[in-house]
Chains A and B, each alone.
Chain A
Amino acid sequence: AQSVTQPDIHITVSEGASLELRCNYSYGATPYLFWYVQSPGQGLQLLLKYFSGDTLVQGIKGFEAEFKRSQSSFNLRKPSVHWSDAAEYFCAVGAGYGNKLVFGAGTILRVKS
Protein backbone atom coordinates (compact mmCIF):
# COMPACT_ATOMS: atom_id res chain seq x y z
CA ALA A 1 0.00 0.00 0.00
CA GLN A 2 1.07 3.53 -0.61
CA SER A 3 2.22 5.62 2.33
CA VAL A 4 4.01 8.87 2.94
CA THR A 5 5.99 9.80 6.02
CA GLN A 6 6.90 13.31 7.01
CA PRO A 7 9.01 12.81 10.12
CA ASP A 8 8.93 16.40 11.29
CA ILE A 9 5.64 17.73 12.62
CA HIS A 10 7.05 21.19 13.32
CA ILE A 11 10.13 22.97 12.03
CA THR A 12 11.31 26.45 13.00
CA VAL A 13 13.90 28.29 10.96
CA SER A 14 15.21 31.81 10.98
CA GLU A 15 14.34 34.09 8.12
CA GLY A 16 17.06 33.88 5.50
CA ALA A 17 18.19 30.44 6.61
CA SER A 18 17.99 27.38 4.42
CA LEU A 19 15.19 24.86 4.74
CA GLU A 20 14.80 21.16 4.14
CA LEU A 21 11.55 19.31 4.76
CA ARG A 22 11.78 15.56 4.70
CA CYS A 23 9.47 13.16 2.92
CA ASN A 24 9.74 9.41 2.57
CA TYR A 25 7.31 7.34 0.59
CA SER A 26 6.36 3.75 0.05
CA TYR A 27 4.94 2.88 -3.34
CA GLY A 28 4.98 -0.27 -5.40
CA ALA A 29 5.43 1.34 -8.79
CA THR A 30 7.02 4.46 -10.18
CA PRO A 31 5.71 7.19 -7.93
CA TYR A 32 4.23 10.49 -8.89
CA LEU A 33 5.35 12.81 -6.11
CA PHE A 34 4.00 16.16 -5.06
CA TRP A 35 4.59 18.90 -2.53
CA TYR A 36 1.70 21.14 -1.51
CA VAL A 37 1.55 24.13 0.78
CA GLN A 38 -1.43 25.20 2.86
CA SER A 39 -1.80 28.51 4.63
CA PRO A 40 -4.43 28.87 7.37
CA GLY A 41 -7.89 29.07 5.88
CA GLN A 42 -6.57 28.41 2.40
CA GLY A 43 -6.70 25.48 0.05
CA LEU A 44 -3.71 23.39 -0.95
CA GLN A 45 -1.40 24.94 -3.50
CA LEU A 46 0.88 22.80 -5.63
CA LEU A 47 4.54 23.73 -5.15
CA LEU A 48 6.11 21.17 -7.44
CA LYS A 49 5.80 17.66 -8.78
CA TYR A 50 7.94 14.82 -10.01
CA PHE A 51 6.95 12.26 -12.60
CA SER A 52 10.11 11.27 -14.38
CA GLY A 53 13.31 12.66 -15.82
CA ASP A 54 15.57 15.02 -13.95
CA THR A 55 15.45 14.08 -10.29
CA LEU A 56 15.89 17.66 -9.15
CA VAL A 57 12.70 19.56 -9.79
CA GLN A 58 12.08 23.24 -9.47
CA GLY A 59 8.84 24.66 -8.20
CA ILE A 60 7.21 27.93 -7.42
CA LYS A 61 8.32 30.38 -4.75
CA GLY A 62 11.95 29.28 -5.00
CA PHE A 63 11.36 25.73 -3.79
CA GLU A 64 13.02 22.65 -5.20
CA ALA A 65 12.87 18.97 -4.39
CA GLU A 66 15.09 16.03 -5.15
CA PHE A 67 13.82 12.55 -5.88
CA LYS A 68 16.10 9.83 -4.55
CA ARG A 69 14.83 6.42 -5.50
CA SER A 70 17.44 4.57 -3.44
CA GLN A 71 16.27 6.36 -0.31
CA SER A 72 12.58 6.54 -1.24
CA SER A 73 12.76 10.21 -0.48
CA PHE A 74 11.51 13.44 -1.99
CA ASN A 75 12.80 16.19 0.27
CA LEU A 76 11.78 19.79 -0.24
CA ARG A 77 14.39 22.53 -0.03
CA LYS A 78 14.68 26.27 -0.18
CA PRO A 79 17.99 28.12 0.11
CA SER A 80 16.63 31.19 1.90
CA VAL A 81 13.34 31.19 3.76
CA HIS A 82 11.06 34.20 3.87
CA TRP A 83 8.56 34.96 6.62
CA SER A 84 5.76 34.43 4.10
CA ASP A 85 6.80 30.78 3.76
CA ALA A 86 5.33 30.01 7.18
CA ALA A 87 2.61 27.46 6.46
CA GLU A 88 1.94 23.75 6.53
CA TYR A 89 3.58 21.61 3.88
CA PHE A 90 2.29 18.28 2.63
CA CYS A 91 4.09 15.65 0.64
CA ALA A 92 1.91 13.35 -1.43
CA VAL A 93 2.24 10.35 -3.72
CA GLY A 94 -0.14 9.29 -6.42
CA ALA A 95 -0.57 6.94 -9.32
CA GLY A 96 -0.74 9.84 -11.73
CA TYR A 97 -1.16 13.56 -12.02
CA GLY A 98 -4.91 13.59 -11.90
CA ASN A 99 -5.41 10.64 -9.64
CA LYS A 100 -6.16 10.30 -5.97
CA LEU A 101 -3.34 11.14 -3.64
CA VAL A 102 -1.93 9.73 -0.44
CA PHE A 103 -0.70 12.50 1.83
CA GLY A 104 1.84 12.71 4.58
CA ALA A 105 0.80 14.14 7.92
CA GLY A 106 2.24 17.51 7.09
CA THR A 107 5.03 19.67 8.49
CA ILE A 108 4.26 23.02 10.02
CA LEU A 109 6.94 25.56 9.21
CA ARG A 110 7.50 28.51 11.50
CA VAL A 111 9.79 31.32 10.48
CA LYS A 112 11.37 33.48 13.13
CA SER A 113 12.73 36.91 12.43
Chain B
Amino acid sequence: GAVVSQHPSRVICKSGTSVKIECRSLDFQATTMFWYRQFPKQSLMLMATSNEGSKATYEQGVEKDKFLINHASLTLSTLTVTSAHPEDSSFYICSAINRLGGGNTEAFFGQGTRLTVV
Protein backbone atom coordinates (compact mmCIF):
# COMPACT_ATOMS: atom_id res chain seq x y z
CA GLY B 1 0.00 0.00 0.00
CA ALA B 2 0.89 3.64 -0.16
CA VAL B 3 3.01 5.26 2.52
CA VAL B 4 2.03 8.16 4.73
CA SER B 5 4.71 9.55 6.99
CA GLN B 6 3.98 11.61 10.06
CA HIS B 7 6.58 13.68 11.86
CA PRO B 8 7.46 13.89 14.64
CA SER B 9 6.35 10.63 16.19
CA ARG B 10 6.70 12.11 19.67
CA VAL B 11 6.96 15.69 20.84
CA ILE B 12 7.05 17.35 24.22
CA CYS B 13 6.42 21.07 24.40
CA LYS B 14 5.92 23.69 27.05
CA SER B 15 2.52 25.07 27.80
CA GLY B 16 1.83 28.18 25.74
CA THR B 17 4.05 27.25 22.83
CA SER B 18 2.99 26.01 19.41
CA VAL B 19 3.88 22.73 17.80
CA LYS B 20 3.62 21.66 14.19
CA ILE B 21 2.90 18.12 13.04
CA GLU B 22 3.56 17.11 9.45
CA CYS B 23 1.77 14.51 7.40
CA ARG B 24 3.35 13.52 4.10
CA SER B 25 2.21 11.17 1.39
CA LEU B 26 5.45 9.68 0.10
CA ASP B 27 4.40 7.90 -3.06
CA PHE B 28 1.02 9.29 -4.08
CA GLN B 29 -0.79 12.58 -4.36
CA ALA B 30 -3.03 13.19 -1.39
CA THR B 31 -5.95 15.30 -2.53
CA THR B 32 -7.62 14.91 0.84
CA MET B 33 -6.19 14.46 4.30
CA PHE B 34 -7.99 13.75 7.55
CA TRP B 35 -6.71 14.64 11.00
CA TYR B 36 -7.79 12.53 13.95
CA ARG B 37 -7.17 12.78 17.65
CA GLN B 38 -7.16 9.87 20.04
CA PHE B 39 -7.64 10.22 23.76
CA PRO B 40 -6.40 7.43 26.02
CA LYS B 41 -8.66 4.40 25.87
CA GLN B 42 -11.02 6.21 23.53
CA SER B 43 -11.83 6.28 19.85
CA LEU B 44 -10.01 8.18 17.19
CA MET B 45 -12.07 11.32 16.71
CA LEU B 46 -12.04 13.21 13.44
CA MET B 47 -10.87 16.78 13.91
CA ALA B 48 -10.89 18.12 10.39
CA THR B 49 -10.80 17.31 6.70
CA SER B 50 -8.46 19.18 4.42
CA ASN B 51 -8.48 19.30 0.66
CA GLU B 52 -5.39 20.46 -1.17
CA GLY B 53 -5.53 24.16 -1.83
CA SER B 54 -8.69 24.74 0.21
CA LYS B 55 -9.50 25.67 3.75
CA ALA B 56 -9.97 22.78 6.11
CA THR B 57 -13.42 21.71 7.26
CA TYR B 58 -13.52 21.31 11.00
CA GLU B 59 -15.76 18.99 12.97
CA GLN B 60 -18.13 20.44 15.49
CA GLY B 61 -16.40 21.39 18.69
CA VAL B 62 -12.92 21.65 17.21
CA GLU B 63 -11.39 25.11 17.51
CA LYS B 64 -10.06 26.07 14.10
CA ASP B 65 -7.96 28.91 15.51
CA LYS B 66 -6.27 26.53 17.89
CA PHE B 67 -5.70 23.68 15.49
CA LEU B 68 -4.42 25.26 12.30
CA ILE B 69 -4.41 22.98 9.31
CA ASN B 70 -2.58 23.72 6.09
CA HIS B 71 -2.71 21.54 2.98
CA ALA B 72 -0.75 23.60 0.52
CA SER B 73 0.57 20.77 -1.62
CA LEU B 74 -0.54 17.35 -2.78
CA THR B 75 2.00 15.64 -0.57
CA LEU B 76 1.97 17.64 2.64
CA SER B 77 -0.53 18.70 5.26
CA THR B 78 0.40 20.25 8.58
CA LEU B 79 -1.45 20.53 11.87
CA THR B 80 -0.27 23.28 14.19
CA VAL B 81 -1.43 23.21 17.77
CA THR B 82 -1.23 26.82 18.88
CA SER B 83 -0.76 27.97 22.47
CA ALA B 84 -0.71 24.40 23.62
CA HIS B 85 -2.11 23.42 27.00
CA PRO B 86 -1.78 20.18 28.93
CA GLU B 87 -5.30 19.18 27.87
CA ASP B 88 -4.07 19.18 24.27
CA SER B 89 -1.83 16.26 25.12
CA SER B 90 -3.03 13.44 22.94
CA PHE B 91 -2.25 11.15 20.02
CA TYR B 92 -2.77 12.82 16.67
CA ILE B 93 -2.97 10.77 13.49
CA CYS B 94 -3.50 11.71 9.88
CA SER B 95 -4.80 9.79 6.91
CA ALA B 96 -4.53 10.61 3.24
CA ILE B 97 -6.41 9.64 0.11
CA ASN B 98 -6.23 10.44 -3.56
CA ARG B 99 -9.65 11.29 -4.97
CA LEU B 100 -8.39 11.90 -8.48
CA GLY B 101 -9.90 9.53 -10.99
CA GLY B 102 -13.06 9.01 -8.98
CA GLY B 103 -14.27 5.76 -7.53
CA ASN B 104 -13.56 4.38 -4.12
CA THR B 105 -10.11 4.91 -2.72
CA GLU B 106 -8.45 3.67 0.41
CA ALA B 107 -7.33 6.03 3.14
CA PHE B 108 -3.74 5.43 4.28
CA PHE B 109 -2.73 6.34 7.79
CA GLY B 110 0.37 7.89 9.24
CA GLN B 111 1.99 6.37 12.32
CA GLY B 112 0.68 9.09 14.59
CA THR B 113 2.22 11.75 16.81
CA ARG B 114 2.20 11.59 20.57
CA LEU B 115 2.01 15.17 21.88
CA THR B 116 2.74 15.89 25.52
CA VAL B 117 2.32 19.42 26.81
CA VAL B 118 4.05 20.15 30.10
A residues near B (Cβ < 8 Å) are: 4, 9, 36, 41-46, 51, 90, 96-98, 100-106
Contacts and interface: CB of A to CB of B under 8 A. Distances in A.
B97 to A, nearest CB: 5
Contact of B99 (A43, A45, A98): A98
B107 A43 contact: no
Contacts of A46: 1, 106
A6 B50 CA distance: 28
Interface string B68-100: 000000000000000000000000010101010
A87 to B, nearest CB: 13
A97 B105 contact: yes
B109 A43 contact: yes
Chain A's interface: helix, strand, loop or mixed, by majority? loop
Contacts of B6: 43
A97 B111 contact: no
A98 B106 contact: yes
Contacts of A51: 104
Interface of B: 1, 4, 6, 9, 32, 34, 36, 41-46, 49, 93, 95, 97, 99, 104-112
11 contacts: A41-B9, A42-B111, A43-B109, A97-B106, A98-B97, A98-B104, A98-B107, A100-B34, A101-B44, A103-B43, A104-B43
Nearest to B94: A43
Interface centre among A42, A43, A46, A100 (most CB of B within 10 A): A43
Contact of B43 (A45, A100, A105): A105
Contacts of B111: 41-43
A32 to B, nearest CB: 9
Nearest to A106: B43
Given A43-B93, A97-B104, A102 B43 contact: yes
Nearest to B34: A100
A44 B106 contact: no
Q: Which of B6, B107, B108 has the most CB of A within 10 A?
A: B107
Contacts of B95: 44
Contacts of A104: 43
